Amino acid sequence: MQDKDSFQKFLFDALHIRGEWVRLNDSFSQAVKDKNYPPLIESLLGETAVASVLLTGTLKFEGRLSIHARGAGPVTLLTAEASHQKTFRCLSHYQSDLPDSNDLQELLGQAQLAITIDPVNGQRYQGIVPLERHRLTDCLAHYFELSEQLDSFFMFATNEHAAYGLMLQKLPGYREIEDQDAWERIVKLAETLGPREFADNDNATLSHRLFHQEDVTLFDPETVSFACTCSRERSLASIRSLGKDEALDILESEPVIGIDCQFCNAHYEFDRSEIHHLFGIGPTH
């Protein structure tokens, strides 16, 4: 089907409402490959990954955006990050005794949802939302309500190794239009979309099926892909943060220091000479 692994914007021309479709197919399969996540975790992580890609549509600069939650419940970590180039990666940590529930509060317990924008140029920004909603869709809508004063709507759907998302958002000019019932009407139409229908139809078909009575402009899609930002340089930086003494202690019992990337399973090794060079230790005689 067309639109696989894609991000696509659309606009209700006369209503000052914008929208975005996101589909993660092969890219999400790559992101969770060899992780053996339980279905509940894979579904929740799929929603989070989709959300991170959707939110890059709000970026007006080059950079990365991450959604991050550390919990005190059965799910201890939930994170996804995406770039303006529409690449993403995601990760979850969880305990073995997961409840039979997709309630975010029950899964994460006491937690906060952090949305961080890290531009290539400029200052890093982080918005914090208390986890006071039961679904990620409602948490994100709450975030935009608090931070941007913009009404927003999110819908996610997941199946085995694929995830889909829809975002609708009022634009600032909405309050000036005559049709003040438009937002409620558009959201109600979107809410009729079912998970199977989402997966089985392309964006153009869904846009027409849901909103055929509205004037909608569907922009060209962008390709979404899984990509990890790990590297030898970043791994060395993490060793530097350990400190010289701890790094040397490791080398007393191991021939190399190994670093595993939790996102992509890449493995990096650094021998004694590299560690000595890292900390400016001269040759010993």
Whether residues 22 and 75 share a domain: the answer is yes
- 167 and 243 housed in the same domain: no
Cα 180 vs. chain centroid, distance in angstroms?
Answer: 32
CATH for 186: 3.55.30.10
Diameter of the chain measured on Cα atoms: 83
Question: Which of 210, 226, 242 is at the close of a domain?
Answer: 226
Per-residue pLDDT tens for 57-94?
987 778 999 999 998 899 999 999 999 999 999 999 99
User: Is residue 81 located within the same domain as residue 187?
Assistant: yes
CB atoms within 10 A of CB 221: 21
182 and 160, same structural domain?
yes
Total domain count for the chain? 2
Q: Are residues 129 and 246 in the same domain?
A: no
Q: In sequence order, which residues have a C-beta less than 8 Å from that of residue 200 and are 6 or more positions away?
A: 1
Q: Which of 182, 197, 226 is the last residue of a domain?
A: 226
Per-residue pLDDT band at 169 (split at 50, 70, 90): very high
Using DSSP bridges, classify how beta strands 112-119 and 267-271 pair: parallel, antiparallel or unpaired: unpaired
Integer distance in angstroms from the first to the last C-alpha of the chain? 65
CA 64 to chain centre: 10
> Are 33 and 169 contained in the same domain?
yes
In this prediction, residues 174-187 reach a mean pLDDT of 90
CB atoms within 10 A of CB 133: 18
Identify whether residues 266 and 209 lie together within a single domain.
no
User: Which of 68, 75, 137 has the alpha carbon at shortest distance from 101?
Assistant: 75
pLDDT of 262 higher than 90: no
Question: Model-level pTM?
Answer: 0.89
pLDDT of amino acid 5: 96
pLDDT of residue 121: 87
Beta strand 225-226 pairing with 87-94: parallel
- What is the residue range of 256's domain? 232-278
pLDDT at 165 over 90: yes
Q: How far is CA 260 from CA 76, 80, 146, 277, 279, in A?
A: 19, 18, 38, 21, 21
C-alpha 139/C-alpha 117 separation (Å) is: 17
Query: One-letter amino acid identity for 119?
Result: P
The model's confidence at residue 284, banded by pLDDT at 50, 70 and 90, is low
217 and 248 assigned to the same domain: no
